[in-house]
Structure 1
Amino acid sequence: MQLYPSPALAPYILHYLILEDHAVRPSRHRFFPDGHPGIAFHFGDAFLQQDFHSKAPVKHPESFIYGQVNHHFDLISGTKIGMLIVVFKPFGLSAFMKMPAKSLANQTLALAEIFPQTAGPLTDQVLGAQDHHARIEVIESFLMSQLAYNKHDIRLVTACTKMIDNACSPVPVRVLAEKLSVTERSLERAFDLHIGLSPKLYCRIARLQRYLKLRKNSPDMSLTALGYEAGYYDQAHFIKDFADLAGITPSQYDQNTNRLAVNLMQISVPSIV
Structure 2
Amino acid sequence: MHRYFVIPRPALQPYVDRLWGWESACAPTMPLLLPGTGAELMFHYRAPMAIDGVRGRRDLGAAYLLCARRAPHQPVAQGEVGFVSVRLRSGALRHFCPLPALALGDDAIPAADIWGAEGAAIAERVALAPDTGTRIALLQDWLLTCLTRYGKRQPAIELAVRALYYRHREVRIDALAEQLGMSRRHFERVFREQIGLTPKAFHRTARFHLTVRDLLLGGDGDYLAAALDHGYYDQAHFIHDFQGFVGRAPARFLQTATPAAHFYNPPIFAPDKVPLPR
For normalisation by structure 2, the TM-score amounts to: 0.83
Find the counterpart in structure 2 of residue 154 from structure 1. 154
Q: Determine helix, strand or coil for the equivalent of 2:117.
A: coil
**Cα pair distance change 1:236/1:105, threshold 3 Å:** same
For the aligned residue pairs, the C-alpha RMSD in angstroms reads: 2.5
> What are the Cα deviations for residues 211-247 of structure 1, in whole angstroms up to 9, with x where unaligned?
1343356545732222111111010111111121122
User: For 2:217 and 2:110, how far apart are their aligned partners in 1?
Assistant: 36
Aligned to 2:23: 20
Query: 2:38 and 2:196 mapped to 1: Cα distance?
Result: 10
In 1: Cα distance, 2:11 partner to 2:180 partner: 26
Match of 2:202 in 1: 202
Do 2:112 and 2:120's aligned partners in 1 also have CA atoms closer than 8 Å? yes
CA distance in 1, matches of 2:40, 2:263: 15
Question: Which stretch shifts more, 185-194 or 80-89?
Answer: 185-194
Question: One-letter code of the match for 1:186?
Answer: H
Greater shift in the superposed pair: 13-22 or 138-147: 13-22
CA contact (8 A) 1:72 1:246 kept: yes
What residue is the counterpart of 1:254 in the other structure? 254
Match of 1:136 in 2: 136
Partner letter of residue 12 of structure 2?
L
* 1:94 to partner: Cα distance: 0.8
Report the residue type matching 1:134 in the other structure. Answer: T
Q: 3-state SS of the aligned residue for 1:17?
A: strand
The structure-2 alpha-carbon separation of the partners of 1:114 and 1:38, relative to structure 1 and needing over 3 Å to count, comes to same
Aligned mates of 2:90, 2:192 — CA distance in 1: 11
Residue correspondences, number: 261
Matches within 5 A, 1:3-18: 3-18=6-21
Query: What residue number does 2:166 align with?
Result: 166
1:199 deviates by: 1.2
Unaligned stretches of 5+ in structure 2?
Answer: 266-278
2:44 alignment partner in structure 1: 42
Task: Give the 3-state SS of the residue equivalent to 2:12 in structure 1.
Answer: coil
State the Cα distance separating 1:263 from its structure 2 match. Answer: 5.8
Deviation, structure 1 residue 202: 1.3
Structure 1 runs of 4+ aligned residues shifted over 3 Å read 25-29, 216-221
